[in-house]
Amino acid sequence: MISNLKFIFVIECPLRATIWAILTLALVLEDVSACRAQEQSTPAPTPTVSSAADANDCPNPPSDAAADPQAMFPHFKSTRFWLSGQMNFIFQTHPDFRADYSGPNSLHPRYEKATSRVMTLYTGVRLNNSTELLVDIEEAGGAALSEGLGLAGNTDLDIVRNPSLSKAPYLGRGMIHTVIALSDDKIENQRSFLSLFDELPRRRLEIRFGKFSMPDFLDINSVGSDTHFQFMNWSVDNNGAWDYAADTRGYTVGIVADYEDRNWGFRFAEGLMPKVANGIDLVWRPWQVHAENWEYELRRGVLPKKAGVVRVLAYTNYANMGIYRVAVQQFENHTSPEPETVPEITNHPWHITRKYGFGINLEQNLSRNFTAFARWGWDNGKTESFAYTEIDSTFNQGVGANGALWHRRQDRAGVAFVSNGIKKDHQVYLADGGLGFLLGDGGLNYGRENIIESYYTAHVWRGIYVAPGVQHISNPGYNRDRGPVVVPSFRAHVEF
The string of pLDDT tens digits covering residues 127-151 is: 999 999 999 999 999 999 999 999 9
Quick check: 40 pLDDT over 50?
no
Q: What is the mean pLDDT of residues 194-200?
A: 95
Contact 226, 60 (CB under 8 A): no
The answer, as to whether pTM is greater than 0.95, is no
Confidence label for 352 from pLDDT (cuts 50, 70 and 90): very high
Q: What is the mean pLDDT of residues 299-308?
A: 93
What stretch of H or E contains 34?
Answer: helix 16-40
Quick check: 278 pLDDT over 70?
yes
Quick check: 455 pLDDT over 90?
yes
440: closest CA among 385, 401, 494?
385
pLDDT of 7 reads 33
DSSP states of 84-134 = EEEEEEEEEEE----BS---TTPPPSS-EEEEEEEEEEEEEEE-SSSEEEE
Judged on CB neighbours under 10 Å (0-12, 13-18, 19+), 78 is exposed
**What does the pLDDT look like over 321-332, one tens digit per residue?**
999 999 999 998
Mean residue pLDDT of the chain comes to 88
Quick check: 222 pLDDT over 60?
yes
pLDDT of 69 reads 87
pLDDT of 338 reads 66
Confidence label for 166 from pLDDT (cuts 50, 70 and 90): confident
According to DSSP, the residues that pair with 308 across neighbouring strands are: 364
Confidence label for 66 from pLDDT (cuts 50, 70 and 90): low
d(CA 293, CA 275): 19
Q: What is the mean pLDDT of residues 1-11?
A: 35
pLDDT of 247 reads 96
Least confident of 253-257, 303-307, 379-383: 303-307
What stretch of H or E contains 356?
Answer: strand 353-367
Contact 251, 213 (CB under 8 A): yes
Quick check: 49 pLDDT over 60?
no
Confidence label for 157 from pLDDT (cuts 50, 70 and 90): very high
Residue with the larger pLDDT of the pair 110 and 25 = 110
User: Which stretches within 206-256 are classed as H helix?
Assistant: 234-237
Judged on CB neighbours under 10 Å (0-12, 13-18, 19+), 255 is middle
pLDDT of 165 reads 87
Judged on CB neighbours under 10 Å (0-12, 13-18, 19+), 452 is buried
DSSP states of 367-420 = ETTEEEEEEEEEE--SBPP-SS-S-SEEEEEEEEEEGGGGT-TT-EEEEEEEEE
d(CA 401, CA 223): 8
Quick check: 245 pLDDT over 80?
yes
Q: What is the mean pLDDT of residues 429-436?
A: 97
Q: What is the mean pLDDT of residues 331-335?
A: 85
d(CA 291, CA 279): 15
Confidence label for 257 from pLDDT (cuts 50, 70 and 90): very high
Confidence label for 87 from pLDDT (cuts 50, 70 and 90): very high
pLDDT of 64 reads 65
**Any idea what the Cα angle at residue 227 is, between residues 406 and 114, rounded to 5°?**
110
According to DSSP, the residues that pair with 178 across neighbouring strands are: 131, 207
d(CA 244, CA 358): 11
Q: What is the mean pLDDT of residues 369-378?
A: 97
Residue with the larger pLDDT of the pair 196 and 24 = 196
Length of the chain: 496
Confidence label for 484 from pLDDT (cuts 50, 70 and 90): very high
pLDDT of 162 reads 82
Q: Which residues have C-beta within 8 Å of that of residue 171, sequence separation ≥ 6?
A: 135, 136, 137, 138, 211
Using CA atoms of 492, 402, 371, 415 in order, give the dihedral in degrees to the nearest 10: 50
Contact 75, 410 (CB under 8 A): no
Quick check: 21 pLDDT over 80?
no
Quick check: 61 pLDDT over 80?
no
d(CA 90, CA 488): 11
